[in-house]
Amino acid sequence: MKEHRFTSLILAAATQYLLPLLLFLSVDILLRGHNKPGGGFMGGIMGASALALYFMAHDARSVRRILRIHPRYFLAIGLLAAAVSGLLPLFFGKPFMTGIWWDRHLPVIGMVGTPLLFDVGVYNVVVGVIMTIFLTLMENR
């Protein structure tokens, strides 16, 4: 499909630098979410908006190239991560979805535990859902 649309050279050039920055920011929001405002949902929304910005400057195909896999697999991976975070405590003899923390404090990431895995799952689901809807609509115009 040939796309007839106006693309700003400035926006296209700026997005090359903005995209990694925004994605990093979205991951930061995801990681700090346990004790401060943020979390998987907000981070996911930010990550999806960064990709949407990239789409505006370029086109749908280049967004797909960045994602590498079809966005619906992000959905599947996210759901799997959330389900595993719920199942892990069962192996330690605790009730379903109990938070288990590793008692080491890692640099940058902070505390690691099943709630973080759940948030990573939410992040992936949000990115997957938004990008699936977004790309489907944009490619069918």
Partner 1 sequence: MSASPLIWPLLVPLLTAIGLLFLWRRPSWHRWVGLAGAFGLLAAGLFLLRTVMTEGVTTATIGGWPAPYGIVLAADRLSAALVAVAGLLGTAVHLFSISGVDARREAYGYYPALHLMLMGVCGAFVAGDIFNLYVWFEVLLMASFMLLELGGERIQLEAAIKYLALNLLASAVFLSGVGFLYGFAGSLNMADLAGRLAQRGPSPLSNGVAMLFLLAFGTKAALFPFFFWLPASYHAPPAPISAVFAGLLTKVGVYALYRTFTLMFVADVAFTHGWLMILAGLTMVIGLLGAVVQEDLRRVLSFNLVGHIGFMVLGLGLFTPLALAGGIFYTIHDMIDITILFLIAGVVHRETGRWRMESLGGFYDRAPFLSLLFLLAAFSLSGIPPLSGFWGKLALIRAALAREQYLATAAALAATFLTLLSMAQVWEAVFWKDRPAADPEPADALRPTRWEKVFQMTPIVGLTLVSLAMGLFPEPFFRYAEAAARGLLEPSAYILAVLGGTP
CB of 89 to partner 1, least distance (A): 8
Considering the complex, state which of residue 14 and residue 83 has its C-beta at the smaller distance from partner 1: 83
Longest pairwise C-alpha distance within the chain = 59
Give the amino acid at 61.
R
Residues forming contacts to partner 1 in the complex (CB under 8 A) are 70, 72-73, 75-76, 79-80, 83, 86-87, 90-91, 93-99
Q: In the complex with partner 1, which residue's Cβ is closer, 61 or 94?
A: 94
The three-point CA angle 36-131-25 to 5° equals: 30
Of 6 and 96, CB closest to partner 1: 96
Residue 30: CB minimum distance to partner 1, A: 20
Task: Report in angstroms how near the CB of residue 116 gets to partner 1 at its nearest.
Answer: 15
> What's the rounded Cα separation, in Å, for the pair 7 and 121?
34
Q: Which is nearer to partner 1, 19 or 75 (CB)?
A: 75
Amino acid sitting at position 83: A
Q: Compute CA distances 1 → 53, 56, 104, 135, 139, whole Å.
A: 20, 16, 52, 14, 9
Give min distance, CB of 138 to partner 1, in A.
Answer: 19
**DSSP letters spanning 79-92:** HHHHHHHHHHHHHT
